[in-house]
């Protein structure tokens, strides 16, 4: 039955290989079970509910990708957008987490519509490559400043705004240890590097009496966030930039991840295109909608799925195995709650390091390309807003193309988006 449904023989794989691949993918992305609840809890969401929402959303999204699209791609609440949700939308701009989830739902609806209509590829291709790369790198810097702040490596200063923290503190030293361990294990290509580093750092912290151990197994906490999203509250002009930011980041991230993982698995057709792209995008956008209803930030495809592909995963059965493991994780809430922040925020710094690689793909010979890219990358962390980074970057891109006499090289959709952001800032201000 499994061979017939997932076409295992056709893809030259077996049930055993797919199970091992699923376990490998899960180990490389299981950190999200720990990190996401800690980030969302700072937005006011109950940590236990955030934990359950993270596991359920990841399980549902990954199962849908495996069964509907038959791809070995796992989904979970995305890094970067979860930080944007907490630190910009809720803590920065003062919206409630319920309204924030409403914005996620609206962006999910837009992405679902775009997934159904044939214009999705046109929109993805309309955004200049330099801006796509800048957005990814800018999110990396955004994650980095959050991570450094939460690790107490960087603290506020009345004269210089920021300065180096007290690195003699035990928690700071453990954070540095965790980050270096992650990087070292990844360099040596050891599976589950992030999870192993989190566990090792936690054990050291508990042994030294720096943090407490709360147990291993229990029944799942209550899902108090279910259907608590405020869609009506998200229907205001002030949320336009936030909804668009969720949409653009999700769209680019999903498109890039799908192609990257499919290419690694040799699943692209002879023209280099992704078969069943419509089903993959529908599974992804549906997961984003379901996640907002369950109570978590945007759910997206995880690039960590390449780990499972490298282990031999070629079909949706790999994704189904990952989904089952996320469901099993629901019963380990005490263990997850025992993991301290100094063992999780180094993960953000490592992910930030990976995302910064995108700057090498920016055209550094054309000033009308790299100047807007730099604006995007700099504004994101310093304004603490992905949306403002995208907005100022696109406005700068459109204006420089116009002033340089290269307006014909700018896609009309970019000019429209620039006009929308200009109107937003002119009439509504930055926030």
C-alpha 399/C-alpha 372 separation (Å) is 9
- Residue 8 has what pLDDT? 86
- Residue 241 has what pLDDT? 82
Would the pLDDT of 269 be above 80? no
C-alpha 173/C-alpha 164 separation (Å) is 13
Exposed, middle or buried, 168 (CB in 10 Å: 0-12/13-18/19+)?
exposed
| Token code pair at residue 361 | 């793909």
Q: In 10 A of CB 266, how many CB atoms?
A: 10
- Residue 122 has what pLDDT? 67
Instruction: Tokens 């330099």: give the residue.
Output: 130
Of the pLDDT bands very low, low, confident and very high (cuts 50, 70, 90), residue 379 is: very high
| Lowest-confidence region among 158-162, 275-279, 339-343 | 275-279
C-alpha 174/C-alpha 362 separation (Å) is 35
**Are 83 and 142 within 8 A, CB to CB?**
yes
- Residue 400 has what pLDDT? 94
Would the pLDDT of 37 be above 70? yes
The pTM of the full predicted model, rounded to 2 decimals, is: 0.81
CA distances from 98 to 32, 43, 44, 188 (A): 21, 10, 10, 42
- Residue 420 has what pLDDT? 81
**Are 170 and 7 within 8 A, CB to CB?**
no
CA distances from 340 to 16, 35, 45, 52 (A): 35, 10, 17, 18
- Residue 271 has what pLDDT? 67
- Residue 124 has what pLDDT? 63
Tell whether the torsion through CA atoms of 118, 119, 123 and 129 is positive or negative: positive
C-alpha 39/C-alpha 345 separation (Å) is 9
Residues 190-209 have pLDDT tens digits of: 877 888 998 999 999 999 99
- Average pLDDT, stretch 257-273? 76
CA distances from 102 to 111, 114, 290, 415 (A): 14, 18, 12, 27
Would the pLDDT of 189 be above 90? no
**Are 274 and 85 within 8 A, CB to CB?**
no
Residues 6 or more apart in contact with residue 236 via CB below 8 angstroms: none
- Residue 154 has what pLDDT? 92
Nearest in space to 247 (alpha carbons), one of 375, 362, 412, 105: 105
C-alpha 290/C-alpha 256 separation (Å) is 22
Instruction: Tokens 């038959």: give the residue.
Output: 70
| Token code pair at residue 389 | 């980074």
CA distances from 239 to 236, 246, 292, 375, 377 (A): 6, 11, 16, 22, 21
Of the pLDDT bands very low, low, confident and very high (cuts 50, 70, 90), residue 123 is: low
- Residue 430 has what pLDDT? 53
- Residue 58 has what pLDDT? 96
- Residue 128 has what pLDDT? 82
Would the pLDDT of 181 be above 90? yes
Helix 316-328 / helix 15-29 crossing angle, nearest 10 deg: 50
- Average pLDDT, stretch 74-78? 93
Compute the mean pLDDT over every residue in the chain, rounded to the nearest whole number: 88
Exposed, middle or buried, 161 (CB in 10 Å: 0-12/13-18/19+)?
exposed
C-alpha 104/C-alpha 84 separation (Å) is 11
- Residue 409 has what pLDDT? 75
Residues 236-246 have pLDDT tens digits of: 877 888 898 88
């Amino acid at each position: 039955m499994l061979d017939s449904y997932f076409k295992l023989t056709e893809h030259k794989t077996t049930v055993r290989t797919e199970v091992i691949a699923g376990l490998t993918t899960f180990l490389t992305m299981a950190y999200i079970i720990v990190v996401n609840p800690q980030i969302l809890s700072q937005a006011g969401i109950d940590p236990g509910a955030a934990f359950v929402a993270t596991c359920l959303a990841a399980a549902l999204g990954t199962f849908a990708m495996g069964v509907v699209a038959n791809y070995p791609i796992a989904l979970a609440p995305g890094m970067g957008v979860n930080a944007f949700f907490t630190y910009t939308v809720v803590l920065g701009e003062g919206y409630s987490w319920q309204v924030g989830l409403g914005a996620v739902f609206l962006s999910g609806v837009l992405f679902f519509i775009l997934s159904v209509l044939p214009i999705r590829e046109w929109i993805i291709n309309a955004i200049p490559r330099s801006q796509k790369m800048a957005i990814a790198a800018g999110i990396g810097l955004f994650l980095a400043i959050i991570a450094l702040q939460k690790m107490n490596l960087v603290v506020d200063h009345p004269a210089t705004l920021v300065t180096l923290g007290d690195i003699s503190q035990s928690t700071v030293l453990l954070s540095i240890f965790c980050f270096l361990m992650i990087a070292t294990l990844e360099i040596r290509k050891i599976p589950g590097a992030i999870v192993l580093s989190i566990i090792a750092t936690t054990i050291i912290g508990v042994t030294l009496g720096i943090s407490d151990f709360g147990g291993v197994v229990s029944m799942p906490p209550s899902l108090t966030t279910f259907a608590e999203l405020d869609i009506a509250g998200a229907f205001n002009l002030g949320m336009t930039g936030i909804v668009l930011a969720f949409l653009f980041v999700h769209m680019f991230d999903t498109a890039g991840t799908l192609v990257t993982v499919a290419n690694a698995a040799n699943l692209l057709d002879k023209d280099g295109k992704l078969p069943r792209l419509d089903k993959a995008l529908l599974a992804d956008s549906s997961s984003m909608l379901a996640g907002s209803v369950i109570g978590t930030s945007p759910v997206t495809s995880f690039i960590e799925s390449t780990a499972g592909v490298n282990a031999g995963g070629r079909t949706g059965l790999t994704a189904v195995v990952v989904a089952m493991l996320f469901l099993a994780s629901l019963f380990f809430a005490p263990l997850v709650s025992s993991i301290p922040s100094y063992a999780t925020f180094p993960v953000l710094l490592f992910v930030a390091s990976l995302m910064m690689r995108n700057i090498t793909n920016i055209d550094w010979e054309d000033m009308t390309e790299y100047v807007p890219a730099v604006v995007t990358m700099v504004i994101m962390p310093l304004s603490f807003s992905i949306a403002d980074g995208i907005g100022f970057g696109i406005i700068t891109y459109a204006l420089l193309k116009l002033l340089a006499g290269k307006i014909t090289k700018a896609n009309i959709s970019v000019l429209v988006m620039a006009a929308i952001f200009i109107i937003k800032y002119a009439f509504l201000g930055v926030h």
